[in-house]
Amino acid sequence: MIEALITLVVMLIVVGVIWWAITQLLPLLPLPEPFHRIIYVILVVVLVLVVVYVILGLLGAAPRARLW
């Protein structure tokens, strides 16, 4: 359980740093507005997928309650 939490926290930190770096560097690229918007939407979709993966990992790492 502890290893899963540590792994998920480290993964969130890495994804957060990558997200920050991309959002800082994206305005420096000379792209027209539609391409800029498309790249940003793709980044948001990838971030949502990572967050859902982390939530599923937390749910999977939680001990199951016995009903009997």
Q: Mean pLDDT score of the chain, rounded to an integer?
A: 81
pTM reported for the whole predicted model: 0.65
13 inside domain:
no
39 inside domain:
yes
Above 60 in pLDDT, residue 67?
no
pLDDT at 1: 66
Q: Higher model confidence: residue 2 or residue 22?
A: 22
How confident is the model over 31-51, as a mean pLDDT? 87
Q: State the residue range of the domain holding 46.
A: 35-61
21 inside domain:
no
66 inside domain:
no
Banded model confidence at residue 63, pLDDT cuts 50, 70, 90: low
DSSP-assigned states of every residue in the chain:
-HHHHHHHHHHHHHHHHHHHHHHHHGGGS---HHHHHHHHHHHHHHHHHHHHHHHHHHHHHSPPPP--
Banded model confidence at residue 45, pLDDT cuts 50, 70, 90: very high
